[in-house]
A and B are shown apart, each in its own frame.
Chain A
Amino acid sequence: MTPLLIENGRLVDPSQSIDRVARVLVTGGLIAAINPDDGDLPPNVRRIDARGRIVAPGLIDLGTELREPGREEDETIETGGNAALAGGFTTILCAANTYPPIDSPGAVEFVRQKAQRARTCRIHVIACLSRGREGVDMAELGLLAEAGAVGFSDAPRPTSNSALLKKALEYCHMLDLPIYDLPLVPELTGSGVMHEGRVSTILGLQGLPTEAEDLAVTRDLRLAEATGGRLHIGPISTLQGVELIKRAKQRGISISASVWPQTLSSMTDKELESFDARFKVRPPLRNERHIEVCREALIDGTIDCISTGHTPRAREKKVNDLDLAPFGMVSLETTLASINTDMIRSGLLSWPDAITRLSTRPAEIAGVPGGSLKPGSPADIVIIDPDVAWTVRGDEFQSRSNSTPWEGKELFGQATHAIVGGEVRFERHA
């Protein structure tokens, strides 16, 4: 493997409190040195000039739907992995909502092998929490862990069965793996398609009330407290949900939480006035009050990290009336840019804080390698051009699906390189 020297870039690595122009030497798939002496450079080193760009640990996504096996019309392990790389993600955790669902060691192995062959980003598996994702009996969590699963979840189905969640949190103590729960009380969401509020009232569209999330967060926090289990709650999208998590953390309950990019964006529920299914996403686009509180919670650390919420759905499924079109959006390739556009360029979030929430914290929560460029760490690196302006065109994505609420919008910032284990797996050519 050719050694790499990334030079002249702004190195942002929160794990080492580094934010300065520095050189990074990569050899043998690992970070060899920061600011090495010229005399220490290998003779055949490939130099990457990152002038004007940010060099950071590769981004890590805690929740990507890859849809293979069974729904390859939406996404495959390979296309999803390529989309991740194009978006600056060097590691993703794939959701278990495939067909059949990932509830057996064989299914975990299938994804791991396909991922290995695809040679895109690192792909870890979040396996089912319950058998068949039916929300009744625990899946064979121990065997799934042995097969390589790094966590458990039935998402995007919420764990409605409180007894199941409690038992699984207790059981996972011995496995030391996290459970990811989507906070939602389905009885309250019904057939809702958008944020319940003034706009849904006017449009006559069924609403998704914030209480559906708030009540589930309340329950999840209580069960996490009672069991001491590793629980990750997300995505959070309501101001009450944020308040609950803030208070729980102040009381010392050990939980983590994530937010999806649309909840931090300047898009509100008013986008649904177009009746365009691209804006049918879950959590739904809410109003300014919720957006503001979620942004503040991300800034002050109440919300630990940003996940992409990549939920690809094939075009033929999305081009339909709002009741029939499924929830979903592709977002691996827009998350970095949307956070940059909505949070960093507006001065709300610094680059080190953004990298913390997109890489360092996700690595800690998931317990997977990455999130740091300390010498000896795997050389998973993203190089970002923070200033490039581009217009979102879903048809140009690596992802097999293309429905995005950012379609046609101008965003700033893009990954120019994604390096996995010292190998340049993605390079954007101007």
Chain B
Amino acid sequence: MSKTLLEPPSGWNRRHLLGLQDLSVDELRTLLDTAQQLKEATNNCREKLSLLAGKTCANLFFENSTRTRNSFSLAAKRLGADTVEFSSSGSSVAKGETFIDTAKTIEAMGVDWVVTRHQTPGTPHLLARELSCSVLNAGDGPHEHPTQGLLDILTIRQHRGNIDGLTVALVGDIAHSRTARSNIWGLKKLGAHVILCGPSTLVSHRWRELDVEVAYSLDEILPRCDVLNLLRIQFERQTTRPFPSVHEYANLYAMNADRMRRSKSDILIMAPGPINRGVEITPEVADGPHSVILEQVTNGIAVRMAALWLLANAPHNSSSSEPIVH
């Protein structure tokens, strides 16, 4: 049964959600608070509200995705909106149409948001310039994945109450990870100390310029970490092999029972998924008491509900996007 309980939060002026880099601390908090509120109002994201009844959300996924697409779809439906699903395989894109023309066509069918995933960085920014409706970035290549960053942060906040002062390590394929980039911006703004850890071919020394710690030994940083976010090795994005073997990588960087014993007793284990059991995380850790991986999935729906709702209530002439980097 659907119900309406909530008033739209104030102080949100953006029409698009393209990344976390350009969000203010207040905007981040508004998103997180709204997600928390919606999670509670929907009984852990299980019940429906009718906050967005009559609106339509189009999922335009030009790259394969199961969890993010379903999460956005459910989020829209839990708020009473309709959804349109689009994937590039077998579509006009396969027939040579540009993704912009495809997006414009879908928009012309009367949608209020376009949720887009694409293998190339910047494509949501391009759509935000070309379309009239709101654009949500559901992952643009290795650039950003703002809702993943938010759901990670929301999960940490639920367990620790605050982000400020925590040490959070992102471990793995930083070079190809949009999750890492969104996490870095969000976590740093909220006061966390961020460590990037992985083989030097996947963690460029250039990251130090962003005021994050770069480490190549997981064992050395482990005792200091409050949170470990274990990122998948994205073989599909790599043109050359960045380390000699998966076996060697797992030995150096996989979170396993032995490393758990050397961690803080209350360490949180996270992974954006899909997880490669035995590569970045062993089954006993993934399924163990410190793992919050499935909570992240639930929080994903809450965060996406919050994003859709906030964008729907943004003033119509609000800014599309601030400059990405300064």
Measured CB to CB, the residues of A under 8 A from B are 190-191, 197-199, 201-205, 270, 273-276, 316, 319-324
Give the residue of B120, B142, B209, B323 whose beta carbon is less than 8 angstroms from that of A324. B120
Give the nearest-CB partner of A190 in chain B: B239
By the criterion CB–CB under 8 Å, are A201 and B143 in contact? no
Interface centre among A190, A191, A323 (most CB of B within 10 A): A323
- Say how far B103's CB is from chain A's closest CB, in angstroms: 11
Residues of A within 8 A of B239 (CB): 190-191
- Complex CA distance for A274 and B143, rounded to whole angstroms: 13
Residues of B within 8 A of A274 (CB): 122, 125, 324
Interface presence of B178 (CB below 8 A): yes
Give the nearest-CB partner of B185 in chain A: A202
Provide 13 A-B residue pairs closer than 8 Å at the C-beta atoms, listed in order of the A residue: A198-B206, A202-B181, A202-B210, A204-B140, A204-B141, A205-B122, A273-B324, A316-B98, A320-B98, A320-B100, A321-B118, A321-B123, A324-B98
- Complex CA distance for A190 and B238, rounded to whole angstroms: 11
By the criterion CB–CB under 8 Å, are B143 and A203 in contact? yes
Interface centre among A191, A270, A273, A275 (most CB of B within 10 A): A275
Residues of B within 8 A of A199 (CB): 325
Give the nearest-CB partner of B181 in chain A: A204
By the criterion CB–CB under 8 Å, are B120 and A322 in contact? yes
Residues of B within 8 A of A197 (CB): 206
Residues of A within 8 A of B325 (CB): 199, 202-203, 270, 273
By the criterion CB–CB under 8 Å, are A198 and B120 in contact? no
Interface presence of B119 (CB below 8 A): yes
Majority SS at the chain B contact face: loop
Interface presence of B126 (CB below 8 A): yes
Interface presence of B216 (CB below 8 A): no
Interface presence of B121 (CB below 8 A): yes
Majority SS at the chain A contact face: loop
- Say how far B127's CB is from chain A's closest CB, in angstroms: 10
By the criterion CB–CB under 8 Å, are A322 and B121 in contact? yes
Residues of B within 8 A of A201 (CB): 204, 206-207
Task: Contacts A198-B209, A319-B98, A324-B120 given; indicate if A205 touches B126 (C-beta within 8 A).
Answer: no
Residues of B within 8 A of A319 (CB): 98, 100
- Say how far A31's CB is from chain B's closest CB, in angstroms: 50
Give the residue of A204, A275, A320 whose beta carbon is less than 8 angstroms from that of B125. A275
- Complex CA distance for A296 and B181, rounded to whole angstroms: 36
Residues of A within 8 A of B204 (CB): 201
- Complex CA distance for A244 and B100, rounded to whole angstroms: 44
By the criterion CB–CB under 8 Å, are A275 and B98 in contact? no
Residues of B within 8 A of A191 (CB): 239
Task: Contacts A191-B239, A198-B206 given; indicate if A203 touches B98 (C-beta within 8 A).
Answer: no
- Complex CA distance for A322 and B239, rounded to whole angstroms: 18
Interface presence of B86 (CB below 8 A): no
Residues of B within 8 A of A202 (CB): 21, 181, 210, 325
Residues of B within 8 A of A321 (CB): 99, 118, 120, 122-123, 126
Residues of B within 8 A of A320 (CB): 98-100
Give the residue of B121, B176, B209, B210 whose beta carbon is less than 8 angstroms from that of A203. B121
Give B57-104 interface residues, CB cut-off 8 Å to A.
98-100
Give B122-158 interface residues, CB cut-off 8 Å to A.
122-123, 125-126, 140-144
Residues of A within 8 A of B21 (CB): 202
- Complex CA distance for A270 and B325, rounded to whole angstroms: 8
Residues of B within 8 A of A204 (CB): 121, 140-144, 176, 178, 181
Give the nearest-CB partner of A199 in chain B: B325
Residues of A within 8 A of B99 (CB): 320-321
- Say how far B216's CB is from chain A's closest CB, in angstroms: 17
- Say how far B235's CB is from chain A's closest CB, in angstroms: 16
- Say how far B234's CB is from chain A's closest CB, in angstroms: 11
By the criterion CB–CB under 8 Å, are B207 and A205 in contact? no
Interface centre among A205, A273, A316, A321 (most CB of B within 10 A): A321
Residues of A within 8 A of B323 (CB): 273
- Say how far A54's CB is from chain B's closest CB, in angstroms: 38
By the criterion CB–CB under 8 Å, are B143 and A205 in contact? yes
By the criterion CB–CB under 8 Å, are A323 and B120 in contact? yes
Interface centre among A197, A199, A202, A316 (most CB of B within 10 A): A202
Q: List the 9 closest A-B pairs by CB distance, nearest first.
A: A275-B122, A204-B142, A204-B143, A321-B120, A323-B120, A273-B324, A204-B121, A275-B125, A201-B206
Give the nearest-CB partner of B176 in chain A: A204
Complex interface bits, B195-224 against A, C-beta within 8 A gives 1, otherwise 0: 000000000101101100000000000000
Residues of A within 8 A of B122 (CB): 203, 205, 274-275, 321-322
By the criterion CB–CB under 8 Å, are A323 and B119 in contact? yes
- Complex CA distance for A276 and B119, rounded to whole angstroms: 16
- Complex CA distance for A292 and B246, rounded to whole angstroms: 43
- Say how far A408's CB is from chain B's closest CB, in angstroms: 14
Residues of B within 8 A of A205 (CB): 121-122, 141, 143
Residues of A within 8 A of B210 (CB): 202
- Complex CA distance for A191 and B121, rounded to whole angstroms: 13
Residues of A within 8 A of B207 (CB): 201
Besides the known contacts A273-B323, A275-B121, A321-B99, 5 further A-B residue pairs in the complex with CB atoms under 8 A apart: A202-B21, A204-B141, A205-B121, A275-B125, A324-B120
- Complex CA distance for A197 and B142, rounded to whole angstroms: 15
Residues of A within 8 A of B98 (CB): 316, 319-320, 324
Give the nearest-CB partner of A201 in chain B: B206
Residues of A within 8 A of B100 (CB): 319-320
- Say how far A371's CB is from chain B's closest CB, in angstroms: 42
Residues of A within 8 A of B141 (CB): 204-205, 323
Residues of A within 8 A of B206 (CB): 197-198, 201
- Say how far B215's CB is from chain A's closest CB, in angstroms: 17
Give B234-257 interface residues, CB cut-off 8 Å to A.
239
- Say how far A317's CB is from chain B's closest CB, in angstroms: 10
- Complex CA distance for A205 and B118, rounded to whole angstroms: 13
Give the nearest-CB partner of B128 in chain A: A275
- Complex CA distance for A320 and B98, rounded to whole angstroms: 7
Give the nearest-CB partner of A202 in chain B: B325
- Complex CA distance for A155 and B209, rounded to whole angstroms: 36
Interface centre among B120, B140, B141, B210 (most CB of A within 10 A): B120
- Complex CA distance for A275 and B142, rounded to whole angstroms: 13
Residues of B within 8 A of A203 (CB): 121-122, 143, 324-325
Give B1-23 interface residues, CB cut-off 8 Å to A.
21
Residues of A within 8 A of B181 (CB): 202, 204
Give the nearest-CB partner of B325 in chain A: A273
Residues of B within 8 A of A275 (CB): 121-123, 125-126, 324
Give the nearest-CB partner of A321 in chain B: B120
- Complex CA distance for A310 and B178, rounded to whole angstroms: 35
Give the nearest-CB partner of B140 in chain A: A204
- Complex CA distance for A276 and B324, rounded to whole angstroms: 12
